A and B are shown apart, each in its own frame.
Chain A
Amino acid sequence: MSEAIKTQVQQQRVRVERERRIAASRRNKIFFAVFIAIALVAPFGIYPVFLMKLLCFALFACAFNLLLGYAGLLSFGHAAFLATGGYITGFVLTEYSGLGTELGILAGTAASAALGLGFGLLAIRRQGIYFAMITLALAQLVFFMFMQSSFTGGENGLQGVPRGYLFGFIDLKDNLNMYYFVLAVFLIGFLIIQRTIHSPYGQVLKAIRENEQRAISLGYNVDAHKLLAFVLSAALTGLAGATKTVVFQLASLTDAHWHMSGEVILMTLLGGVGTVLGPFVGASIVVTLQTYLSSGPMGEWVHVILGVIFVLCVLMFRAGIVGWFSKLIQKNFK
């Protein structure tokens, strides 16, 4: 073929690719706007505490997805960060009751980030299943520490955490105020993740995920990049845990148990690993199922149903609901 035609085809391909990306980004912006609109009015129709639980778990799943979907690291110990955020915030707000709630939450997030650094330094050099197992083992040690500590209340949990006042004057005991605060926290966390993914750092992360050897040979400090992703993921998970503790006024060992680590994997997988909306969708489905199944005749089937969803997801919906949906849209609405 002649050179002129080859370049034309190439330019055409680039143009199509760019158009697709623009269309996708426009779609995302529309979704986002719709989401914000719904989120603003939702508490007037749906029980706000339920929505807040959803948002906290959605943030948890998004933070986890950052690590799994974009950095390609499967952690089995994320419950440790959720619990650390929750317990530290709960402790700080209970001990220093005059402190503004936002400071308590920041304390929990910071503690979680620090723990994430610790875990990361120990685990980052390992690959695949060994990485996952080290994070699991470390999380089990953290679980043990929380169980044995007196400040956590052990099996009873840290109870009676005050909602307190945001910035010193907004009363968070009002469910509506609390809801908008939680929504803001979620959006901040979500935006941080988005900015990270679309930044140059995020591009390197993607490169590492796709071909680590090549990234190393190109001179990137792969370990440092992975560590940063890990710490970020841990911090945002801690943020989710801290916020959740304030919403429910309670932090318990459930948050540190390895089942919780398994649940977030389910949420991310169900929604679609590596997608933007996936974790939110996945978290919503799982939280809704758990809440509405447990009250009613299906209560005894909760675990079986979750198991069936797991199995179906792996067998048929590996791209998750969002992934499957995207493919559907791409196929039909070009």
Chain B
Amino acid sequence: MTILFGVPLSVLLGQLLLGLINGAFYALLSLGLAIIFGLLRIINFAHGALYMLGAFVTLLSLQYLGVNYWFALFLAPLTVGLVGMAIEKYLLRRITGEDHLYGLLLTFGLALIIEGLFVKVFGVSGSSYPMPDALKGGFNLGFMFLPKYRAWVIVSALIVCFVTWYMIERTRLGSYLRAGTENPKLMQAFGINVPLLVTLTYGYGAALAAFAGVLAAPIYPVSPGMGANLLIVVFAVVVIGGMGSIMGAIVTGLLMGLIEGLTKVFYPEAANTVIFLVMVLVLLVRPAGLFGKET
């Protein structure tokens, strides 16, 4: 048995794989944030609440409408995406052009309201969502038992991340989006409906958060507070990656998952805090983040 740093290699491999899976999850969550900030310059503190909404839509649609997991994968992002669009149109629109501070505070307030309402109605204890049958059980990889569902998480998260990146960086729609946020007046002069694009973008970011929520429902307790603790970690990921960069968010998410995974083996008490240490170190050396551009 090969030992590396006092830990058997097989154990380390298992932990790294788990770290990678968590990283894919972080990447998915940070992606929505990165899009909203990178393109709309809005610091979306409601992201955790939107993630929670996604998980709850999944749970409630099963309980009350009999909607199964596979439908929920589309239903939840759609629903929360619509909610996101409403938030942008009726609330965030009013403060475009103001200091970033206000977007942050507004979304922070929204998060408080949404989470508080859910606590009032559903209580604080999490509810459990049944694992979809097709994904029960797991693969015996030799060095560990990997639940099928976790494999699904990393695969689906990476696919969504890649598709999103491609859409934004490589398609015409993406280029309209990028141009529209850099110079809205010019784009409007070309006949592009910039406000609609902005609303759709925020909605898409919200949908991404909700998708992460659906992925989370079978493996984490679905509770109103589930997004609150994740939020600052996800923000840290986006900042380390570079606040405007889509690729930065994805890569950093994966990287952070790995680093966190290793921390859980060697110094588990610090697992929640290591990401902030990384953030301080990165920002000292590369002030705009790993992939960011200095504005």
Contacts and interface: CB of A to CB of B under 8 A. Distances in A.
B94 interface: yes
B112 A269 contact: no
B269 A303 contact: no
Q: Pick the 7 closest A-B CB pairs, nearest first.
A: A310-B109, A307-B112, A304-B116, A303-B116, A307-B113, A311-B109, A137-B276
B9 interface: no
A151 interface: no
A40 interface: no
Given A133-B283, A144-B276, A315-B94, 15 more contacts: A129-B43, A130-B243, A130-B288, A143-B273, A301-B120, A306-B109, A307-B112, A310-B105, A310-B106, A310-B108, A310-B109, A310-B112, A314-B105, A318-B98, A318-B102
A284 B114 CA distance: 25
Interface in B82-136: 91, 94-95, 98, 100-102, 105-106, 108-117, 119-120
Identify whether the interface residues of B are mostly helix, strand, loop, or mixed.
helix
Interface stretch (A120-128, A219-227, A233-241): A120-128
Given A144-B270, A262-B108, A310-B106, A126 B232 contact: no
B287 interface: yes
A122 B280 contact: yes
Interface residues of B, number: 39
A144 B235 CA distance: 18
B110 A311 contact: yes
Given A133-B236, A303-B119, A304-B116, A141 B280 contact: yes
15 contacts: A126-B283, A129-B100, A129-B239, A130-B287, A133-B279, A133-B283, A134-B280, A138-B280, A143-B273, A302-B116, A303-B115, A314-B102, A314-B109, A315-B95, A315-B106
B120 A134 contact: no
B107 to A, nearest CB: 9
B284 interface: yes
Contacts of B101: 74
Contacts of B273: 140-141, 143-144
A143 B235 CA distance: 17
Nearest to B279: A137
B284 A308 contact: no
Contacts of A315: 91, 94-95, 106
Contacts of B105: 265-266, 269, 310, 313-314
